[in-house]
Structure formats: structure tokens, C-alpha cells
Structure 1
Amino acid sequence: MKQIIALLTPLWCVIIVYQAATCTLISLFEPSYLYHLDFLIPRVIIMVYLAFRLTTKSAFFLKLNALADAVLAYLLLGFFYTETAFLNTLVFSKIDPVLAGIDQWLFGHQPAIRFSEVYGNSLFSELMFFGYFSYYLMPLIALVVIPAWMAGRRINKPAQFNRFVFLLISAYFTYYLLFILFPAAGPQYYYEPPFNQISALGPMAYLVKFVQQVGEAPTGAFPSSHVGITFILLYLLFALNKKLFWIYIPFSILLLFSTVYIKAHYVVDVLAGLLSAPIVLSLNLFIYKKLNFHPNPAVHGTNHSRS
């Protein structure tokens, strides 16, 4: 029992609560999906991993379990993201006409169409696709670099890393819930051909299009988690690792514009991402304080010794 209680870190509490929420939603509206492979695979992976966590006596793994938790949670996000394309059809209708209408009202045209038409040269296009692709790499790099940087500087404050991981991963799950409440496919699915596509003019464009074919789905447009997560990541890095923060700034700016350029988002999605980021972060900070309940410092990696 003590092992099970110790396993319930704030990160795993949020993951379990999200699973409970989505399972309840599916049970109410489409129970047959509970037996679908897309639903079962990530949850079986989680159960197998947690069983391993409970039973392993490997000193090497126990030393790195916080990093293993973080990387596994991040890698599983792709499953839960694509799942929202199914979940957001269960209750509400798509709001793409409203979002496209707001863009039209603000600009007198559709920026997600005009942007790539006006700036269509191959160099600029590759720069935009590169900026968009950085979204997939920046969080993962941070999850690996930060503990390595702490170890290199002999900074023995694992609680800081655990807090960083919780706030980052829980932000994803918060946005996934918002995608269910505000279902939107995005310009690349809403616009009629050929306006819903942008030609691949270089290797970065082909790479992004390949990633989209594998893991993209008609979901997640509003608010833009690309923008929201990126600015939450920047906020967290500013406190933890300013060097990485400044390295990420230019990539984040490129990402901001690229989401509209490659037709992943409407401009209103980007604005909503910017506005929602501090709200999502504040909410998850509040949750973290409530969930960080273990009195034993070893459970969450807290360390009261001087570093």
C-alpha cells in the first residue's frame, strides 16, 4: 500500500484523473469505443509501466524514475491528442465556421490562406515549417536537458524538475479538455481544396507533412496549444534555465507565425492560445499545490539539504 501511495505523484494523479474523465465521457456517449485499439493501447502501456514501477528494484531505474515518468508521459501525449478528434464530436458541433468568421471580421480575409500566398517563396516556407516542427522538439529537449544540466552543476533539487514536469504535462491535458469543449478542426480541414493545403517546397515541409499524416487529426485548433504550451514552457524555463529560455525565443516566434502559415490554426486560435496560457498555468499551479501532499520528501524528490 505504501508503494502505491508513493506512486501517486501529482503527475500521475493528473494523468489518472484525465483517464477517468475521458473514460466517463466515452462510457456515456459511445461505450463501444472503450474496446477500440486506439483507446486501449496507451492505457495498457500506462498500466504495464506502473506495474513495473511498483515491482522493480533496479537502483538505476529508481534513480531515474522521475525522468522516465516525464518522457513516457510526453511520448503518450500523441495518443491522447488524436483521441480528442473522436471525443470532441460526442457532445458539441465543430465551431470552425465561427472561428473563420472572426478572422474574416478582423482582417477582411482569411490570414491562413493569404499568408502563404503572399509569402510563398521556398526559403520563407522552409523557415515556417522549421518553426512549426520545433514545437515537437522543444518540450522533449527541455525534459532531457534540465535534469542533465542540474546533475552537471550538482544542483540537487529534484522537486524543481518534478514541478516543471507536472506544469508542462498537465498543461497538455488541460488543452485536450478544452479541445473537447471547443471542437475545431482547423483551416487545413475546414477550408475547401486547394485552399486547405500548402505545397511542400523543401525537406522541412516534407518532414512536417509526414508527421501530420502520422499523428495529426481534425482537432485541437482552438485554443492553440502550440502557442499556449510554448509560452508556458518559456515561463518555466525562465525560472529554471535562462540559457535554454533565450535559445528557445527565436523558435517560439517562428512557431507563433507558422501555425497560421501552414494552416494549422486561425489567427483567433493563436490569440486564444496567448490569452489562455497564463490561465492554464495558474490553474495547474493551484492543482499542483493541492496534490503535492506527501509528507515524505523522498516521494516527490524534495531535498532540504543545501545544494
Structure 2
Amino acid sequence: MPIIESFKIPMTSLSQPKALPIEWVTLAYTLFTSLIIVLLWSHMDNPFRLLEGRAMVLTAMGLIYLIYRARPNRYTLFLRYLFPLTLLGYWYPDTYEFCQCFPNLDHWFAKADLFLFGCQPSIAFQAWLPEKLWSELFHMGYFAYYPIIALTVLSPLFTDRKLFQPTAFIVLTAFFLYYTIYLFLPVAGPQYYFHAVGFELIQSGHFPEIGDYFRYHTELAPSPGPGGFFHDLVETTQKSGERPTAAFPSSHVGMSTVLMFLLYRNRRYLALLVFPFYFFLCCATVYIQAHYLIDVFGGLVTAVVFYYVCNWVWERWSRGEGEEDKAPAH
């Protein structure tokens, strides 16, 4: 059965279409970051381009909304949900344009890893398991991040349709919470910082401040480990879409944990099937040197907080809309 054929629309939505919660959240993040662009105008490389991008996002959302009003059916409604989620690939590298306005903080996180764990886990982990088998397993887990997102969002259409809307809302809102942190917390991760200052300096216990280095340099170290299908796939993906941003807390760990909560709520067997990929994904963030180990713990803690906050907001929002729909007309 096609995905869209599984999508049902309440008849009340056809006669009185409203902005969806997922659209309101996207609008809020778009306007919030537009305000930050104005405030940081003189520090940004190309603020006009960033505002143009946001204008295009709002225009596209408006057009899709008008199409739905003209032809309110399951296809146009599904498009209204799908479009904000597809923008996640746009918003992630966009955080770099903001955090590069502030002095880099990687040296503090590298020091924290050394202080807490007595080494640099992102270097020691790969040296401990250098074999190709481990490299492929960890890189496979890291790449599984994207299919897990799709599975989490789309699976309710085939299992429990009433969970689709809250799932889509929680996923998008949690992502925006992470992105909001990344706007103001300039931490690039070991694959950038170690490459910039030199691995020898890091292993000797020296962590120099590099200021605005990543404002002008975006080179990252090659993915560690022997070459292989998933190794090369991750490396290619990072070269095309990665930026020196978004290291702490790890959204790969945090969001995949949120996704596991949602999968478990939907169908427990889905969470069990995905768990091996989740495990290797979390390990891979350190193994491929995308994150400090402290980033992983930050991701786990924020995942729990963000999941419950987003779920609470959804429940309040949906309850308010339900009461509004039941209110007598005046």
C-alpha cells in the first residue's frame, strides 16, 4: 500500500484548514533565526543570502498551504507534513553561518575529554579497534541515522496513524532545539579541531585556542579506519554536507535516542530491530572522530529532556486545538 494512500484526513480539516503545529514550529524557527541574522548582520559573511533562503522557505510553505486549501486531500496534506521535514538538510549546515561569528570552543571540550577520561577517546577508540570489520560496522551505524529518521516518521502510517502527527512534530521540534544550541555554541569536533592544530599536539596534551579559524577553513580530517563501502559512503556524505559546527551536544546521539523513544512507543519490535544500528551509531560518533566523548553524554541527557518537553508541548497544543474545535460557534 503506497505511503500516501495510508494517510487519512479528518473531514473538519478539509472545510477549515489551519496551520499545522509542524508548520508553526518551522515558522517560529525561521523568524527567530531571521532576527538573529539582523542582530549579527555585521559579523556574518552573507546575511542577504541567508534571508533570501528563509524567504524562499516561507514562500514555499505558503504555496503548499494554498494548494492544500484549493485541493484538500490526503496528498496535499501529506506534502504539508513532508516539506518541513525535508528542510532539516538545509537547516543543519545553516547553523555554521551563525556559530562562526563566535570564538571557537573546541579546546575546552578536548580538555574536558582528557580530564574526564585520561585520554582522547576519539583517537584511542579507533586505535583500539582498527580492523576493517569494526570500521564498517561503526560507519554503517553512523549512516543508518538517515534511514532511522525516515522509519520513525513514516512507520506510524502503517501501524498507528494517530501517532503520525505527534511523531513528526516531536522529531522536527527536537531537531530545532539542537540547532538552536548550535547557533551559539561553536564546537566543531575532533575531525576538524585535531586536523586544524595537528594530532601530535593533541596527543601531547596541548589544546591551543584557534579563535575564528573555522570562519576561513572548513577542511576536515579523513574518516579514520580502512576503506570500505560504508566508510567511503560516510566520508562522501561528510564531504558534501558537513560543516565545522554542531559537535556539542551530539545530535546524532540525541536525536537517535529520541527516535528510539518514538519507535518504542509506536511498536516495540521496531525499536528492538533498530537498536543494533542505534548502538553502533552512538559508538561511531566517537570512533569516526565526529564528536568528543563528552558530546555523547550531552546528547543522551538532552535527548531525554527534549523528548519530554516536545511531548508535553504536543499534548498541550493538541488539547488546546481539541477544545477549540468543540467550542460553540458565536
Query: Structure 2: 5+ residue runs without aligned partners?
Result: 1-12, 200-220, 326-330
Measure how far apart 1:296 and its partner are. 8.0
Structure 1: gaps spanning 5 or more residues: 151-156, 299-307
Match of 2:146 in 1: 136
In 2, Cα distance between the equivalents of 1:75 and 1:281? 20
Corresponding letter in the other structure for 2:275: I
288, 292, 301: which one pairs with 2:314?
A: 288
The one-letter code sitting in structure 2 at the alignment partner of 1:112 is S
Larger radius of gyration: 2
1:27 to 38, 41, 46: 38
Does the alignment pair 1:145 with 2:172?
no
Q: Is the 8 A contact 2:65 2:80 kept in 1?
A: no
Structure 1 position 51, deviation (Å): 1.5
Cα distance, 1:107 vs. partner?
1.9
CA contact (8 A) 2:131 2:226 kept: no
Identity level (%): 28
Equivalent residue for 1:177, pick from 166, 171, 180: 180
Determine which structure has greater relative contact order: mean sequence separation of CA pairs < 8 Å that are 6+ residues apart, divided by chain length. 1
**Deviation, structure 1 residue 106:** 1.6
Over 3 Å counting, the alpha-carbon distance change for 1:49 and 1:242 in structure 2 is same
Residue 73 of structure 1 deviates from its aligned partner by 2.2
Q: In 2, Cα distance between the equivalents of 1:47 and 1:199?
A: 44
| Pairwise CA distance, 1:39 | 5.2
Shift of 1:200: 4.9
Paired with 1:27 and 1:84, the residues of 2 have a C-alpha distance of 15
Q: Secondary structure at the match of 1:7?
A: coil
Question: Is it true that 1:206 corresponds to 2:218 in the alignment?
Answer: no
| Corresponding residue number in structure 1 for 2:252 | 226
TM (normalized to structure 2)?
A: 0.79
Provide the residue aligned with 2:73 in structure 1. 62
Query: C-alpha offsets along residues 201-239 of structure 1, whole Å, 9 cap, x if unaligned?
Result: 101111111111111101110001111111111111111
Indicate if the aligned counterparts of 1:71 and 1:140 stay in contact, CA closer than 8 A: no
Distance in 1 separating the partners of 2:152 and 2:73: 21
Change (3 A) 1:78 1:106: same
Per the alignment, residue 51 of structure 1 pairs with 63
From 271, 288, 305, the equivalent of 1:262 is: 288
Count of residues in Structure 1 that have an aligned counterpart in Structure 2? 287
Q: Is the 8 A contact 2:98 2:184 kept in 1?
A: no
The equivalent position to 2:100 in structure 1, one of 89, 112, 134, is 89
**What's the TM-score, normalizing by structure 1?**
0.85
Deviations 1:6-49 (A, max 9, x none): 4322111111111111000001112673421x653465145224
Distance 1:46 1:220, change over 3 A: same
Corresponding position: 1:102 with 2:129: no
- Are the equivalent residues in 2 in contact too, given 1:146–1:161 (CA < 8 A)? yes
Q: Deviation string for 1:115-149 (max 9, x for gaps)?
A: 11221111110111000001111011222232133
Q: Structure 1 66/225 Cα, relative in aligned 2: closer, same or farther at 3 Å?
A: farther
